[in-house]
Amino acid sequence: MAGGRRLARVAAVLVAMLTLAGCGLTHVQDLNFRVDKRLHFVSPKDRSTVHQQVTIAWRMDDFKVAAQGSQPQSRDAGYFAVFVDRTPIKPGHTMDDVAKDDPFCQRSPTCPDSDYLSQRNIYTTTKTSLDIPFIPNISGSKEKLQLHAITIVLMNTSGHRIGESAWELDVRIRKVGV
């Protein structure tokens, strides 16, 4: 009986490993399997109603803020990427993912730059606050008070996303044009 349970556990582990191997999971070291509590939003409060221009502020523990290219790559140093109403790039990836299917951007050696990203509601910063000049209406939503998701991820100094940690702040904004 005990041997049967052990065999079942081994089989379950093998199935899990094979499943993960087939999912394109190549950066196992980037998986946290824990809640990352290093970032804390200071303002606005989660799910509060805010007005355009939205200013968000946060506090970050155990992370050295450093600009892209300013020092050797490390998991403990880098800058912030802020995604508004968008899914962040995958762990280990760069902002090039945002522009990979854009022929205009592919022809420009400096693309994607900060202007290109901000037009897509993506911002990078070395500060612990950010003024978001305008958050557009959620396409297809008829709600007069819309819930917008602001997600922060960490980027290392070589421009790659660090791990899978992400922190989300939801804010309500009155629909423009109502």
Instruction: List, for residues 5-63, the tens digit of each pLDDT value.
Output: 666 665 566 555 555 555 555 555 545 567 899 999 999 999 999 999 999 999 999 99
pLDDT recorded at residue 106: 86
Split at pLDDT 50, 70, 90, the class of 128 is very high
Same domain for 38 and 21?
no
Tens of pLDDT, residues 77-127: 999 999 999 999 999 999 999 999 999 898 888 999 999 999 999 999 999
Q: Apex CA 133: angle with CA 131 and CA 135, to 5°?
A: 110
Same domain, 90 and 130: yes
Same domain, yes or no, for 16 and 4? yes
What is the reported pLDDT for 124?
A: 98
Three-point CA angle 32, 34, 40, nearest 5°: 100
- At 154 the pLDDT is 98
Q: Is the peptide bond before 72 cis (omega within 30 degrees of 0)?
A: no
Asked if residue 68 has pLDDT above 80, the reply is yes
Question: Number of folded domains in the chain?
Answer: 2
Do 23 and 36 sit in the same domain of this protein?
A: no
Are 57 and 11 within one domain?
no
Question: Are 10 and 51 part of one and the same domain?
Answer: no
**Residues 150, 130 contacting (CB under 8 angstroms):** no
- pLDDT of 34 reads 74
Q: Give me the pLDDT at residue 113, please.
A: 95
Identify whether residues 104 and 129 lie together within a single domain.
yes
**Greatest Cα-to-Cα distance within the chain, rounded to the nearest angstrom:** 68
Residue-level pLDDT at 78 = 98
Q: What is the pTM of this model?
A: 0.81
The parent domain of residue 12 ranges over 1-30
**How confident is the model over 129-148, as a mean pLDDT?**
95
Asked whether residue 77 falls in the same domain as residue 107, the answer is yes
* pLDDT at residue 14, rounded to an integer: 58
Q: Domain check: are 97 and 144 in the same one?
A: yes
